Structure 1
Amino acid sequence: MTTKRGRLWYVLGPSGAGKDSVINYARERLGAEACVLFAHRYITRPADAGGENHVALRPDEFALRERAGLFVLTWHRNDLSYGIGIEVEQWLARGLDVVVNGSRSALPLAERRFPGLIPLWIGASSEVLAQRLAARGRESEEQIHQRLAEAGAFSPPTNARVLLNDGELAEAGETLLAWLRGETVPH
């Protein structure tokens, strides 16, 4: 029996755009019949640091897993290391769609590794980004200014589906749900 390969939904966008919130919204509401899995990232950040539900690793643990080939993608940003586990390849091979919270810097490698990848850009206005970054309390004022400058320097890839997450979470969340279910929604 041949199973159609699943699709990789590669979420990216500026820090503070609400990527984790939109992903969690969809994850909590999407039933198993949709055949969609949400991959956890492996991060060298403590588990209780706030934000996404991730697998917390010490830097030496991360390096060992990276050397052992246990990640399909890795990147290093803001003094942290991030990885997507090799289990994603198995899920895709079994026909399941997979949502990963990626990085702009790792997108070219992800596109080479996963032909047919669907880039999903979640963005927000600079005013909303500034409010959210300040509210989460993880960055200094200087770091917030740096993140806002970086956000202004990037735009969505031309082939990306784009979600603007300036309003109520349910607006962006329901659009993502519809896309994951295969429903036609303007983007």
Structure 2
Amino acid sequence: MGTLFYIAGASGAGKDTLINYCRNQIDGMLPVIFAHRYITRPANAGGENHVSLSEEEFKLRLKNRLFAMHWVSHGLYYGIGIEINLWLKNDFNVVINGSREYLPIAMEKYPAIKPILIEATAETLRERLLRRGREDSESINERINRSKMIDTHSELFTSIHNDGLLEDAGNELLATLLQAESIL
């Protein structure tokens, strides 16, 4: 059975950037699969490489049990496809971009899950969210304030601080993913 890595963190913490860094470093050379999220957000919204669904299509897939995990955040629907179960069963390690609020449910479904929290200072979050350009200043302030209020269950996570160079946090995440690889 493979290992499920659950990457979480505040908007702007750099989850997608770090996931892409690791994907490029591994580049199919190891049995690691980076799952795409299914999101009711336009494909051209920038940032994450996701599968864009209409709300109706998302609800159809949900009704037909095609998601291993799903949640709603910031007015959008997010899902992780059931294909991850087949990948795990076939000894692939799977990396997903999850929600901090959904983690307790994910832990019930996948008791051997390995949660990884990507953290950054409020200043870094604000700068990155402004650069991303998807939200206005008020929405950014709400995201940062909400981030401070969410209980991250920090004792359950491996924490990676991502305020500096991409390579520093990227290599730390990569090392965490590769630790499970040495177990296989």
Calculate the TM-score normalised by the size of structure 1.
0.93
* Number of residue pairs aligned between Structure 1 and Structure 2: 179
Aligned equivalent of 1:77: 73
- Aligned residue for 1:131, secondary structure, equals helix
Paired amino acid for 1:180: L
Q: Which runs of 4+ in 1 moved over 6 A?
A: none
Which digits, 9 at most, give the CA deviation of each residue in 1:14-55, with x for residues without a partner? 110000000000001114342110000000001001011000
Q: How does 1:26-41 map to 2 (within 5 A)?
A: 26-41=22-37
Q: How does 1:43-82 map to 2 (within 5 A)?
A: 43-82=39-78
Residue 104 of structure 1: CA displacement?
Answer: 1.3
Contact in 2 for aligned 1:156/1:162 (Cα 8 Å)? no
RMSD: 1.1
Which digits, 9 at most, give the CA deviation of each residue in 1:79-128, with x for residues without a partner? 11000000000000011110000001211111011111000000100110
Paired amino acid for 1:137: G
Q: Distance in 2 between matches of 1:62 and 1:31?
A: 29
Q: Using a 3 Å threshold, how does the CA distance of structure 1 residues 137 and 31 change in structure 2: closer, same or farther?
A: closer
Which digits, 9 at most, give the CA deviation of each residue in 1:146-168, with x for residues without a partner? 01101122354212000000001
Query: Which 5+ residue runs of structure 2 have no aligned equivalent?
Result: none
Aligned equivalent of 1:112: 108
Q: Distance in 1 between matches of 2:152 and 2:163?
A: 16
Paired amino acid for 1:169: L
1:103 aligns with one of 84, 88, 99: 99
Query: Which 5+ residue runs of structure 1 have no aligned equivalent?
Result: none
Q: Distance in 2 between matches of 1:58 and 1:152?
A: 30
Calculate the TM-score normalised by the size of structure 2.
0.94
Tell me whether 1:142 sits opposite 2:143 in the alignment: no
Contact in 1 for aligned 2:41/2:52 (Cα 8 Å)? yes
Tell me whether 1:164 sits opposite 2:161 in the alignment: yes
- Aligned residue for 2:147, secondary structure, equals helix
1:121 aligns with one of 117, 123, 135: 117
